Amino acid sequence: MLDTEHFFDNPSDIVESDEVASSLRTIMIRPGVRRRGLLFFTTLLCSVLVIAAGVVVWFWGYPAQRNNPGFWHFSLISMLFWLSVTQGMVAVSAILRLAHASWRYMLNRVADVASLFGFWVFAILPFLVVARGRIYVLGASAHSNNVWRTAGSMLFDSLAIGTAYLAGWMLLYLTSIPDFGALRDKLPADSKKQHFYRRIALSWQGAAKQWRTLRLAEGVMVFGVIVSFVASQTVQGWDFQLASARDWDSSIFAPLYTVGSLLGGLALTALVATATSHAAKLPNLVTSLHYDNLGRFMIGLGLVWFYFRWCDYLTAWYGNIPEEWALQNNRVTAFPILAAVMVIGCFVVPVFGNMFRAIRTSPVGLCTISVCVLIGLAVQRFLDTVPTFAPNYPLSALIPSAATILVFAGLSGMFVLTYLVAARYFPVVSWWGLSKRLSRMHESTLGNGSVDVMLEDPPIWET
Amino acid sequence: MGDMTQKSEDINKDLTRGVLQTTRSWWMCFLFFGTVLAWGTGCFVWQLVHGIDVYGMERPNYWGAPIINFVYWAGVALSGTMISAILRLLHAGWRRSITRMTETLTVCALLVAGLFPIIHLGRNWVFFWLVPYPNERGLWPNYKSPLLWDATAISVYLVSSVLFWYSGLIPDFAVLRDRTTGWRHELYSMLALKWKGSDREWKRLRGVSAILTVMIIPVFVSLHTIVGWDFGMSIVPGWHESIFAPYFVCGALYSGAGAVLVIMCLVRRAYHLEKYILPKHFDNVAKIVMTIGLLWFYFFAGDAWSDWFTEDPTHINWLVYLFGGYKWALITLAFFGMLVPLVTLPFKRLRTSPWAMLAVGVSVNIAMFTERIIVVVPEASRSWLAWGDYTPTWVDVSITIGAFGLFGFLYTLLSKFIPLVSLWEFKEGEVVDAVVTVGNAQVPVTVREEAIG
Amino acid sequence: MDNGTTVLGLFRALDPAAKALKTLQEEERGWRNLLVLSAMPFPEGVLEADKSKSRLTVITVVCALLGIVLGIGLAAGTALLYVIHQGGKPVVSGPPTAIIAYECMMLVALTGVFFRALYEMRLKGWQAKVHDPRISEGMIGIAVRCSTESEAADAEKIFRDLAAADVTRDSGSAQ
Amino acid sequence: MALKARTQEYLKQAGKPADQSGVAASVRTSSDRKWGMVIDLDRCTGCHACEAACSAENNIPVVGAEQCHKGHAHQWIRVERYWEGNYPNVKARFMPILCQQCGNAPCEPVCPVYATYHNPEGLNVMVYNRCVGTRYCGNNCPYEVRMFNWTEPAWETPLDQQLNPDVTVRGKGVMEKCTFCVQRIRRAEEQADADGRDLEPDEFTTACAQACPPKAIVFGDVNDKRWSVNKKREDPRRFTLLEELGTEPSVVYLKALDDEA
């Protein structure tokens, strides 16, 4: 019935095919820093933003805003937002690996590079976490335990977030060793770059034993990434839940934040994948198949996010206990526009927008949906902290000022910079992943129709 | 490629053997479950006559064995749709041979679960007041109450799972219609709705099963969220948690997956389906059990941990009671629900042996039954101003056993009328899968199913 | 009533059946609506003879909206029919009505789609009368409705030289 | 169909202004009265007279020792006893707890058959023959004042003469609770209507208030300032039970004063 002969019969010309080779070529010939062009302009803009944010925080924020909790609260919220979204991207690519999604190879590398944002987090978060007790001093006085219980959660916080990023780095390095090996072989003999890649390629010759250990390592690391991601998001959720209001510990916050960051990660992966395919001028890097599947995944996550949010609201509404209902009411009626933006951004747009195939499969459609999702998630961060303190905080302290928006822009600049720098060292698409996919699936005719036949690859950790 | 008709010839023969020949052991099994069911109904009639106090309930905790059984059986009822709906959405090819038996598991478990809201009432004979029928007094049921959400969710899920099950059965009834004579022929030709197997019919069947797959997943998730909201909506300190809805869904999936393992092993042994249910199926279902087990533990720990860490005075009472009076329930839960699966499931040799998986399935279900006890009883017995206790009486126990009897009775009865492995899905699997020799390895090949809907 | 003859060719393997179907479709003889009978579904486009449009998704959306209206009527309507005030909750309260509307939406949509599919599945006219028990045993049947004798003979010849296991002819008039 | 007509009339008047003098008391839809109660814990000596009076007045079944051991006792008002301090100077605190007729009652929205609802006079009314016995209201009541008829109540021959004709005798499988002696409220209102006058302050009281030796329990119409209950409600010692749950109970307790305070 199925003509199943020609698998793997021409590995050499798969490797030479344009997509695969082009991703390596951009690294090898690495153009000098050209003065004009889109890439150069974005690098310039982002570095200016980052420096400006740094200057504002250190030379104006630290001395002048010492006792204005609103400023520090905002920078902490935007840092936590970027932290959760980057970890979400790494977790999304790990989940796709675990589920053997046939369309994952293009997106894996793009999503894994997000774990490099961890360097910025390690640099900035300790200062904000230490200052947390002081930021929410007003919050603490009203409720006996403030948002971030200085004793317990801070230890869990740094531990969990750290391991999540470490796992991301290891997975990224492991899966790019074959790429470094390929680059080492393709680069001219003893140029400086070639020495660099020979050192980090750790004597990789592509031997069968090496491939098998790489597979096993990748399998173990995928579990590591997912578990540490869930732990890190749970601890952030518990920060809000364990002490947000004296009697109301809505235990839904841990899964709510895990799904929220997955949703954000998915949205950002779509955005970054489109951007890289335009920047690297590889039009068929991200095909409509990828957008279709990304859209479906986003529908699922949007539904689960709304489901958790609805559980939280309904339990408070039905219980009618004043303390809990005041918190929910504060969130929905005190900030009606923000609550509407959050629900529309995180639920209505991704779920109902992605239901139409036309929107889902067009890059423009999916990117607009992703931007709405990210806005919704940022607003959700704000809505979960501000109402808890709205009664005893001057509302003016919680409205974003010009300085805090600059800090947020600085953080986004950091995120873009991570990608621009990483693109010079990691090939945009994992060279070996792509060739693996192309050799395992091909068209074949069955009866009058044509179907594509693919090898069923065994579970990821089975060598 | 070999003669297709010869292969489907003996597929038909194997899979309809269970339907056409009734062996002595089937009768023994049927009568055993019948007696257990009779004992259970007898106890229900005794409770009807004597009143609710035959159970062990008392003032602070008003809910006991009937609600625990209701939540447990509604949980088991989730397994069938999970296996056939979610795995079809994920294009897992190996689901084909076990979809039918798990969907029958869903329908039978749901019929059992539907009975318990009636058994649990104080005045069981007026249960129909929960139904919104227009009556002379102009009274309607109160749709603000979570119990009414329950009644709606159960009936919606019952209707949709029966439709989902029946739409998969029509082609098999057509095959049975062509292979039987006499009253069976009349029955099956009536059930098969004049199915011819034309490609238009196949296309419509695929269309409707695609839509049903996509729509039945929110239905079964909403069934168990509403069962969770029965407790989540009250203001009893232990129950008033916003995590109860997803926690109940995970608990249901966990005990459902365990029940799937049990049914797969028993049906494989009873109808000699060794060629159809391969160790590979046990391996994959065991992996699902492990993942959902970890997810369930995440929710269970999250719920209990958050109460303990905030040391909220009202929430701490039920935890102290759980670790004190109900220590044994917690220990059985920890041993059967966490230790046994986590020790046996990581090993491939154990995962592929059917009898080991039967043991794991049974232990998971024991654990999830105790978990329902832990969720229902300790919180209510440590309410605000009055504390109480709950010791099950013989009527509680016999109602629970009666429920298992009813489930077994229904399942053996249904397995006499429908083939427990869906014929057309298995044949479709034969068409689509193949094995190819690549280098010197035999690698399975499959056609990538086009996306659903 | 058209009194053509139905020629049914039974094949053991998939490829000759596909070839026969392709040749029949390409010959622009007077054959009206071919029919492919099989005991198992084939992937998209493998043995495709039916071109009718399916309106299942439209019906799902329509039934879903009907269900929402039914749900709102059930939850909010019955509360307004006999107003009884209960502690802390308005007579018609939002979240319960939303839950009941969601449940009824699912109920009406699912049942609507199921019965619509049964309705769309029915075969009319001569197609409903073509039946051979051997199809359930795994053979693939291709039936064609010919109005004249020469078409029937040609169809038989096509089936014969593609090594059809059996070619039957049924000249009953379609009711 | 008489019931149908009365319900239509009941519905028609939903919007009418408060003056209901012409309409029979039981059909009145909106009323300016709101029944409340004050219990002075300083006076209460824990003598359980209120429990005896309540059982006599409201046909509460005596279930016997074996059922009480199983926790199926019937007490619409129970005197809780708390101990404070340890042995040498220990002090007993008594607190009669009954249905607080909450303004925002958690037990009402959860009943699936509308067997309990909030009537315009601020009472939490229990409709016995509509109750199906799901017992969700019992679970959801934080004060645990709802009693369930686990078995068919039985009165031996001499005792059944003592049943109060104004109160229905509940069957098996029905939830019951304190109703602020609604039968006495209705009788007093009908008497006042018959005489063509309004209710005088302190004209009648509940069985427990009537039987309490030290007059610790005072019952009356909170909206009408002339009733003595309002004077007691302004007492600085006032507190309500489980206030943080937001159930707005209409029973106000007055704290007991210690001797040395």
Q: For C83-108, what is each residue's pLDDT tens digit?
A: 888 877 888 888 999 999 999 999 99
Neighbours of chain D (3+ CB pairs under 8 A): A, B, C
In total, chain A counts a number of residues equal to 463
Neighbours of chain C (3+ CB pairs under 8 A): A, B, D
Nearest to B58 among D71, D133, D136 (CB): D71
* Average pLDDT of the residues in C31-52: 77
Distance (Å, whole) CA A451 – CA C42 = 11
Reported as a pLDDT band with limits 50, 70 and 90, residue B241 is: confident
pLDDT greater at residue A395 or residue B186 = B186
pLDDT at D245: 86
Helix (H) or strand (E) holding B280: helix B279-310
Average pLDDT score, chain A:
79
Distance (Å, whole) CA C21 – CA C159 = 9
Mutate to test the interface with C, among B6, B135, B144 (most CBs of C within 10 A): B144
pLDDT at B136: 85
The CATH architecture that domain D22-254 belongs to is 2-Layer Sandwich (3.30)
Contact D240, D251 (CB under 8 A): yes
pLDDT greater at residue D238 or residue C131 = D238
* Beta strand pairing call for D251-254 and D35-40: parallel
pLDDT at A10: 62
Question: Of the candidates B430, B410, B446, which has an alpha carbon nearest to the alpha carbon of residue B29?
Answer: B410
Neighbours of chain A (3+ CB pairs under 8 A): B, C, D
Q: Which sequence spans correspond to the domains of chain B?
A: 26-134+142-446
Residues within 8 A of A (CB atoms), D 190-249 only: 244-246
Interface check for C50 against chain A (CB to CB < 8 A): the answer is no
Instruction: Using the predicted structure, report yes or no on whether residue B52 has a pLDDT greater than 80.
Output: yes
Whether B233 and A455 lie within 8 Å, measured CB to CB: no
pLDDT at B307: 73
Number of other residues whose CB lies within 10 A of the CB of residue A413? 21
Instruction: Using the predicted structure, report yes or no on whether residue B452 has a pLDDT greater than 70.
Output: no
pLDDT greater at residue B356 or residue B237 = B356
Tens-binned pLDDT, residue by residue, of chain D (261 aa): 556 666 566 656 554 444 445 555 445 556 788 899 999 999 999 899 999 999 999 999 888 888 888 888 888 999 998 888 888 888 888 999 999 999 889 999 999 999 999 988 889 999 998 999 999 999 999 999 999 999 888 888 888 888 889 898 988 889 999 999 999 998 998 898 888 888 888 888 999 999 999 999 999 998 888 888 898 888 898 999 988 888 889 999 999 887 664
Domains and CATH numbers, chain C: 5-40+138-171 (3.30.70.120), 56-121 (no CATH)
pLDDT at B34: 94
Residues within 8 A of B (CB atoms), A 225-244 only: 230, 234, 238, 241-243
Whether B59 and D147 lie within 8 Å, measured CB to CB: yes
pLDDT at A265: 94
**In this predicted complex, what is the ipTM?**
0.89
* Average pLDDT of the residues in B24-36: 92
Q: Which sequence spans correspond to the domains of chain A?
A: 8-442
* Beta strand pairing call for B441-447 and A449-455: antiparallel
Instruction: Using the predicted structure, report yes or no on whether residue C174 has a pLDDT greater than 50.
Output: no
Nearest to A456 among B233, B439, B445 (CB): B445
Helix (H) or strand (E) holding B299: helix B279-310
Interface check for A318 against chain C (CB to CB < 8 A): the answer is yes
Distance (Å, whole) CA B172 – CA B72 = 31
Q: Give the nearest chain A residue to C87 (CA atoms).
A: A320
% of chain A with per-residue pLDDT over 90: 19
Instruction: Using the predicted structure, report yes or no on whether residue A384 has a pLDDT greater than 90.
Output: no
C100/chain D closest Cα distance in angstroms:
14
Q: Which sequence spans correspond to the domains of chain D?
A: 22-254
Mutate to test the interface with C, among A1, A307, A355, A448 (most CBs of C within 10 A): A448
Nearest to C114 among B11, B167, B206 (CB): B167
Whether A320 and D106 lie within 8 Å, measured CB to CB: yes
User: To 5 degrees, how large is the angle CA B282–CA B286–CA B290?
Assistant: 175
The CATH architecture that domain B26-134+142-446 belongs to is Up-down Bundle (1.20)
Whether A238 and B312 lie within 8 Å, measured CB to CB: no
Nearest to A448 among C21, C88, C89 (CB): C21
Q: Looking at residue A6, what DSSP letter applies?
A: -
User: For residue D124, which residues of chain C lie inside 8 Å, CB to CB?
Assistant: 87
Mutate to test the interface with C, among B129, B143, B169 (most CBs of C within 10 A): B143
% of chain C with per-residue pLDDT over 70: 93
User: For residue A446, which residues of chain C lie inside 8 Å, CB to CB?
Assistant: 14, 42-43, 46
pLDDT at A164: 92
% of chain B with per-residue pLDDT over 90: 43
User: For residue D244, which residues of chain A lie inside 8 Å, CB to CB?
Assistant: 247, 321-323
Instruction: Using the predicted structure, report yes or no on whether residue A374 has a pLDDT greater than 50.
Output: yes
Number of H helices, E strands in chain D: 8, 10
Distance (Å, whole) CA D174 – CA D64 = 19
pLDDT at A240: 63
Mutate to test the interface with B, among D81, D144, D242 (most CBs of B within 10 A): D144
Question: Of the candidates A315, D136, C127, which has an alpha carbon nearest to the alpha carbon of residue B57?
Answer: D136
Q: Please give the interface size between A and C, counted as residue pairs whose CB atoms are below 8 Å apart.
A: 36
Residues within 8 A of A (CB atoms), B 270-289 only: 287
Q: Give the nearest chain C residue to A445 (CA atoms).
A: C46
User: To 5 degrees, how large is the angle CA A195–CA A198–CA A203?
Assistant: 155
User: To 5 degrees, how large is the angle CA A2–CA A4–CA A6?
Assistant: 145
Mutate to test the interface with C, among A446, A450, A452 (most CBs of C within 10 A): A446
User: For residue C15, which residues of chain A lie inside 8 Å, CB to CB?
Assistant: 447
Whether A325 and D104 lie within 8 Å, measured CB to CB: no
Whether C107 and B3 lie within 8 Å, measured CB to CB: no
Distance (Å, whole) CA C122 – CA C117 = 9
Distance (Å, whole) CA A83 – CA A17 = 37
User: For residue C97, which residues of chain D lie inside 8 Å, CB to CB?
Assistant: none
Helix (H) or strand (E) holding A414: helix A402-422
A320/chain D closest Cα distance in angstroms:
7
Structure token pair of residue D246: 């937001």
DSSP assignments along A42-84, one per residue: HHHHHHHHHHHHHHIIIIIIHHHTTT-HHHHHHHHHHHHHHHH
Q: Give the nearest chain B residue to C48 (CA atoms).
A: B199
D131/chain B closest Cα distance in angstroms:
8
Of A388-402, B275-289, D205-219, the range with the lowest mean pLDDT is A388-402
Of A197-201, A394-398, A433-437, B407-411, the range with the lowest mean pLDDT is A394-398
Q: Tokens 């390895």 correspond to what residue?
A: B441
Whether B143 and C79 lie within 8 Å, measured CB to CB: yes
Whether B438 and A8 lie within 8 Å, measured CB to CB: yes
Prediction pTM value: 0.90
> How does pLDDT run across B54-96, given as a tens digit for each residue?
888 888 889 989 999 999 999 999 887 888 888 888 777 788 8
| Helix %, strand %, coil % of chain B (to 5) | 75, 5, 25
Average pLDDT score, chain B:
87
> How does pLDDT run across A442-455, given as a tens digit for each residue?
667 666 767 666 66
User: For residue B62, which residues of chain D lie inside 8 Å, CB to CB?
Assistant: 135-136, 138-139, 148
Contact B226, B71 (CB under 8 A): no
Mutate to test the interface with D, among B46, B235, B312 (most CBs of D within 10 A): B235
Average pLDDT score, chain C:
82
Interface check for D46 against chain B (CB to CB < 8 A): the answer is no
User: For residue A1, which residues of chain C lie inside 8 Å, CB to CB?
Assistant: 14
Interface of A with D (CB under 8 A): 247, 318-323, 325
Reported as a pLDDT band with limits 50, 70 and 90, residue B35 is: very high
Instruction: Using the predicted structure, report yes or no on whether residue A299 has a pLDDT greater than 90.
Output: yes
Distance (Å, whole) CA A125 – CA A129 = 6
Whether B246 and A254 lie within 8 Å, measured CB to CB: no
